[in-house]
Structure 1
Amino acid sequence: MKRRDILTAGLGLAGGTALAAPAVAQSAPELRWRLHSAFPRNLDALYGAPELFARLVAEATDNRFQIEVSAAPAGGSSALLEAVGSGTVEAAYSAAAYEVGRDPTYALATAAPFGLNARQQNAWMLQGGALDLFNEIFAKSKLYALPGGNTGTQMGGWFRREVKSLADLQGLRFRIAGLGAQVMGKLGVATQTLPGADLYAALEGKTLDAAEWIGPYDDEKLGLNKVAPFYYYPGFWEGGSMLHFWFNAQKWAELPKGYRAIAQGAAATVNGDLQAKYDARNPAALRRLVGGGAQLRPFPQEVMEAALKAANDIYAEIGAKNPDFKRVYDALKTFRNEEYLWFQVAEYTYDNFMIRARARG
């Protein structure tokens, strides 16, 4: 079955009656929307996600609902979502964690330090009630969001010198975003937020000592291995980093029900496709990076333990001032604890056995 057929079938189910595509086209309005992506074209997995979304929507509506995708103009991610909320553009593709300055609760929709892994984040969002919680909060800014993919657990970043202990982090100039920046700040790190396109120059010019982006596939594209040799893992601040499609809430509500169902189906396809891309492409990219001289290093246990304590302190501090954050983080924590009860029985046991078996050849 073709993707277009799946989506139009979904439209029929959503309306309660199976409708053939021509019948849909005859009664559907012609719409032209604009979608700005927070990511540049050279990061093809991330930029390709909204392109796939737009193509699926167009195919399922016989091109009556078209969405033009382009890179966001200058102004940063906050300006991007402000444009969507104001109706300047109808949609965007970005990470909610970039909006930590607007409300730290947003960051939990992407990833929280020591939060959920990718599968758990997806389960919480789609089956654990989190999406409704977040959209209730996003509505205050006239936004509506749908999950749009996950990068999986990210890497800890590229460092120009080794981190052997907690003391090595003192004064380190490190590019990191979201709540992870607050955690690292508590450990004595001088954090900065820069777009991915600026990281190579900042590391090469030694205005940064370290930078994290996503993982092997994208990091290789940015050339970060050429200017910082030590590649640390894991990115404990993003155990499963979810991206979102953002819509102007009024424009979304005004869409015909059939178009909303098609857009939901297209977003769901992208949500699965993006992580599949990263899972498929990261292994070969990691091999190339290591073959080219990158030196893999795990964060010391001392750093991990200190970061966990710092994260828990930050959550308590924010929650004491922000009722929305406390409500959502409490829900996340409860869901996480239940998930790991299951994962330690099944996933962890199986993966641990297979990793050891692989090592034995």
Structure 2
Amino acid sequence: MKQWPDTRILDLLGIELPIIQAPMAGATNSSMVIAACNAGGLGSMPAAMLSTEQLREELKTIRQHTQHPINVNFFCHQPPAADEQRAKEWKDLLQPYYQELGADFEAPTPVSNRAPFDHAACEVIEALRPEVVSFHFALPEKSLLDRVKATGAKVLSSATTVAEAVWLEQHGCDAIIAMGYEAGGHRGMFLNDDLSSQVGTFALVPQVVDAVKVPVIAAGGIADARGVAAAFMLGASAVQVGTAYLFTPEAKVSASHHKALRTAKESETAVTNLFTGRPARGILNRVMRELGPMSAKAPAFPLAGGALMPLRAKDEADFSNLWAGQAFTLGVEMSTAQLTRKLAEEGLERLLNRA
């Protein structure tokens, strides 16, 4: 499929289709990645919620079932310092829910964690040598990034503003994911934490394209061929699609998440920090409505989720994160392979047939 108006991502990453299956921690495992890769796109394995050994096993499984390039995604946050007072205030805010649901308020608070890229993770990359390594929340320190690049891997990272895109290019990214405000899951923002700085995908993409020389991947609110074609017309070289893949049988989502994706209204998503301590878009549920989606009392990422765990065990739908982008109602039931090919084939058709 070499008729795409911009083939830089295809050439850079060695893939057939300019469709990147987004790395969605908790919802993506090796089966989705394998299917996306074998369909001609780029499958992405999220590593933030995996131990080093779990990551090794997942990558070995992927290598056994596909010869195509794969992407491994890591978070680059700094683990927060302990703040007992903030943790207490947060749990106190949730106490009425503990009482209502019969959860043990006096029990030690579980630990909610996401692993940042570190020396151990870098050793996995050096050993298994994925063709692409992507990052969220900026980039790792230079010594680690240099080691990743020394394996021959191409490096991607997410930008939510033009300033972040320029920073990523200056610090060695081979391509930039322009992540619009519509996107589901964690915002990739890293130069500031001001949500008012966040821009919609189809305003962000052309501005990033104009500001950097490396190829740009559009992400956020893209769930069908119309979004693919629009992204290319604005200068993108590929698209990264997340929420639409949650409708595939390969997606590992809870029963509550599965139901919410199929029954919520199109206006029922919001950016929230309640579940992890960092802004992320998901479908509204009880705790988001009653506390407000953003709370200054939520502990720093990734610690906020610990106090919610006992509540989630009692009532999953109302106290767990239901990540989804704003275009989730466009999701269609089909396999990962079918979705990957459909996005590419119909997106290209729209581009070639535009008047």
Q: TM-score, normalised by structure 2?
A: 0.30
Q: Larger Cα Rg: Structure 1 or Structure 2? A: 1
- Relative to the length of structure 1, the TM-score reads 0.30
